[in-house]
Structure formats: structure tokens, C-alpha cells
Amino acid sequence: MKIKGIKNFLAALMCASLLPASLWALKEYPDVGYGRVEGYSAVGRRSGEFLTIPVSARSVGLGDAFTAIVDDISAIYYNPAGLGFLERPEFQFTLVSLPADVRYNYAAVAVPLADGQWVVGGFYGMLSMEPIEETTILFPNGTGNEVDVYSQVLGGSLAYNFSDRFSAGISIKHVYEDYWSVTAQAVGFDVGTNYHTELLGHQFRLGIAIQNLGTSLHFRGARLQTIVSPEHIPQEQEEAAYVNRDPRPQRELEYRTHGNTLPTSFKIGVSMVLASSESASWVLGVDLMQPNNIPVTYAVGTEINADFSESLKGAVRFGWRIQTDQDESKLGSGFYGDGTAARGLSFGGGMERRFDRFGVGFDYAYRNMGYLAANHFFGLKVRF
């Protein structure tokens, strides 16, 4: 009884911890939850926005309606409480192909401990692109110098199963950005919970997560430093009574930059298994997301899983992430990124093969991005 009482107390404490975190987010980021002034946009007022790049092809295929569904290693990113579903160690690698030859590589590993009651994990992600030649007003054809930029995140996660129906988790991350030797770093964390039960005879899950709460990014570096010429005091001021000092000599100064907050987001999601059998299942998920850099976003997705044999299974996925953060008045229609008729629509699938000691899974997803054409996501997952 004492142990059960302690678990219930810890569960209540974890749930209660989400409330002050949410209130802190509302205070720190007033445009989260309180709406926005008409015509106002927070786009471009956040740093570390590479943290919003999806790292799971499975999630993208579901339109990011993943907060309650996630039950594999990608829970490190979407909802750390989902790590509580892991029964054996897992490894993930994701390659994201973005417009303008930008790449995002992400890797993670997670290991269950104490018969699966605890799960620990670690992750690393890096956004990069090929160096580009520097151009200036005086040298529009290039100066001969190359500009190199990259962003990276490194962190760890911890999840705990309070019972067979409730889990909670937390991820702590170090964020670093380097824009041609102008750098900034911050510390952020994610928290999440997952409650799973039955509703009307169907498996039902409720997931809540807050992503990227943390400190602001302040950029510093040698390229923000400058030389100020010796001070010149005009003759008339030298003769004035209120000026009685020598001119200041040449000195080195550094521009100060405004601190930009991380792209924080509050998410709540539900999922339900609509139909299931011994060899197949059909699940539906719905998410509501409130980022601090774009308006409220909605997502809906569905996944059909099938076991073809004891060692081979596959899945197909469809989803739609609904955003209202761009001017659609001048766009046409079309599916391949030339309009908004299908913006946010996605589809994908995956296969997993089980061997004697481990399993290997491959996932692919396509997402229409409107103005930005399309994204392709490739994911590799290994279960031991």
C-alpha cells in the first residue's frame, strides 16, 4: 500500500508540474494562449527553429498527430512519456531533405531499465548545408570567402511508468547555433504525460506535452566586434564649460544582440484504435498544438498496421497538418507544392523485419509544404 501510495503521489506531482510549466510559458511567451494582435506575427522572432523539424517519418506520415500515438524511440522528440512503451532497446536515425539543399540528421537511442519501469535515452540532431560564397555590395560576385552555418541539439531523456496506464517523461537539451562564427547557446527541456485506457471498448490514449521551454539565445562572436575610431570633439564643445576631458582613443566594441526565445509549443492529443485483429490494427489520432511562433495548429492522422508474418510487418499512413500562418490569397491550387489546396497533407509507410536478435525498420513520408514545395523524410529504426 505504501509503494502504491508513493506512486500515486509521484503521478499527481508530475501532472501538477505541467501546470506551473504551462503558466510559466504563458508568462514568458505571452503570445502563447492569449491570442495575437490582429496583423501580428511572431514568425522570425524565435531562434532555434530547427528544433521544430520533425524527426520521425512515421509522425510526418500521420500529419504530426502523434502526441498520444507515439510509442517508440521517437517519443524522445514528440512526447518523452511515450518512451514508457518501450520493451527493449531501440536506435533511430532520420535524414530529412529540406529545400535549398538543407539537411537535418537526427539520431537517438533509448534503453528500458528495471523491467521497463524506467527508460533512459539520448539524442543528437544537426542542421547543415553546403558552404556558400560570401557576397557584399562591393563584391557582388563573391569575396572568395565561404560562409558556413549549422545548428545542433544534444540531450537526454528519462521516462517513468507510474502504472500500467500512466507514464511521464522529461527531456533536457543543449541548443547551439553557429552562423559564420556568430554563436549562441541555450538550455531547454520537454515534459510530457501519457494516459492510456479503454473507451467504448476501444484502446484510447491521451497525451500532453510541452516542448522547448528554456532560456533565450543571445548571439555573440568575433564578427559582432568592431573598432571605433578615436573620438573627435568639435572646437566649440572643447571650449564649453561642460566638456572638460580628453577625447577617447580608438577602442574595441561588440554589438549586443536581442535574446530570442526558443520555439515553445504546448500540445494535447488523443488517439483511438478503431479496429483491431490478431494481425492488423487501425488507429486514428488528433492533435491540437499552440506554438509560440505561429497560430494554433491542428493535425489529424491515421495508420493501418499489418503483420504479414511473425518476422515481417508493415504500415501505411495518411495525415494532414492544418496551419494558417501564410497568405493564401495569391496562391493557386495543386498537390506538388504549387498552391495551398493540399498544403500540410502527407502520406507514408514503413516496413519492419524481425531477425533472431534484433529488428530493423524503415519508414518514408512525403509532406506538401505549399510555398516550399515538398519534404521527404527517411527513417531507420533498430530494435534489439
User: How would residue 27 be classed by pLDDT, with cut points 50, 70 and 90?
Assistant: very low
Say what percent of the chain tops pLDDT 90: 46
Among 83-92, 94-103, 183-192, 211-220, the range scoring the smallest mean pLDDT is 94-103
The pTM assigned to this predicted structure is 0.78
Query: Per-residue pLDDT for 334 more than 70?
Result: no
DSSP notation for 91-137: EEEEEEEEGGGEEEEEEEEEEEETTTTEEEEEEEEEEE---EE---S
- Contact call for residues 232 and 246 (beta carbons, < 8 A): no
Among 60-69, 106-115, 352-361, the range scoring the smallest mean pLDDT is 352-361
Half-sphere exposure of residue 352, counting CA atoms within 13 Å on the CB side? 21
Domains in the chain (CATH in brackets) are 2-221+261-383 (2.40.160.40)
Query: Per-residue pLDDT for 252 more than 70?
Result: yes
More confident residue, 116 or 334: 116
Q: Which residues on adjacent β-strands are paired with residue 376? A: 97, 366
pLDDT tens per residue across span 35-51:
445 555 566 667 888 99
In angstroms, rounded to a whole number, what is the distance separating the alpha carbons of residues 183 and 202? 50
Identify the pLDDT of residue 17.
Answer: 45
Residue from 275, 348, 353, 340 nearest 315 by CA: 348
Query: Per-residue pLDDT for 33 more than 50?
Result: no
In angstroms, rounded to a whole number, what is the distance separating the alpha carbons of residues 111 and 98? 30
